[in-house]
Amino acid sequence: MSQTGIIESKLPGDPLELFRHWWADAQDKSGMLEPTGMSLATADAQGRPSSRIVLLKHWDSRGFVFFSNYTSRKGRDIHDNPHVALLFWWDKLRRQVRVGGKAQKLPERESDAYFANRPRGSQLGAWASQQSRPLDSRETLQKRVEELDREFGSDPIPRPPHWGGYRVVPEEIEFWDDGEFRLHDRICYFRDGEQWRTERLYP
């Protein structure tokens, strides 16, 4: 059963405004384990898709930010094809949000600032992991972390050049709200220059 339903006359012109309400509900009320988790779908240069979960670390009117390894499979996909899709499924609220847009690397200083505030263990992990490459054993990774720990000593750990943020600049956002008898609400926002156009879709 829908918590609120979506009523056209009350829809904000800016989808980020509606996202702000749904995001707040997901963080505050849902009691879900990882409400910041979202699926990120990419496609490679041949159009072959792949998806995985990443955490949304920041969002604002410019877009949705997550952090990763730039040389990972997703990083290589985004390099070749910046079109991506994000998907939130907030099960306790029975709501889904789909975002389509283009991913772009965050400015270096923004990635630096985020990295500087990460726990030291995560900073070492970012240096040690060649994300998505074959690894012969867990021990190899563990040893590499220990080596790096000794090398950096008590110095602050800089951000590795292969690690940083992406901002997904939305071109469309769909809000899906569970309705009775599968009569769900689906409201799509499409970017139209500086404005957004909305459309209701059949469920």
Ligand X SMILES: Cc1cc2nc3c(=O)[nH]c(=O)nc-3n(C[C@H](O)[C@H](O)[C@H](O)COP(=O)(O)O)c2cc1C
Amino acid at 113: A
Q: How far is the CB of 75 from ligand X (least distance, A)?
A: 6
- For the stretch 102-140, what's the b/e string if a residue is b when 16 or more beta carbons lie within 10 angstroms of its beta carbon? bbebbeeeebeebbeebeeeebbbbbbbebeeeeeeeee
Contact predicate 9/189, CB 8 Å:
no
Toward ligand X, which CB reaches closer, 29 or 133?
133
Residue 73 touching ligand X (CB under 6 A): yes
Q: How far is the CB of 172 from ligand X (least distance, A)?
A: 23
Sign of torsion over alpha carbons 119, 122, 126, 127: positive
Toward ligand X, which CB reaches closer, 73 or 186?
73
Q: Select from 10-18, 72-80, 104-112, 146-154 the region that touches ligand X (CB under 6 A).
A: 72-80
Question: Backbone phi, then psi, for 59, in 5-degree steps?
Answer: -150, 150
* Binding to ligand X in span 34-53, by CB under 6 A: 34, 37, 50, 52-53
Summarize as ranges the residues that interact with ligand X (CB under 6 A): 34, 37, 50, 52-55, 66-69, 72-74, 131-132
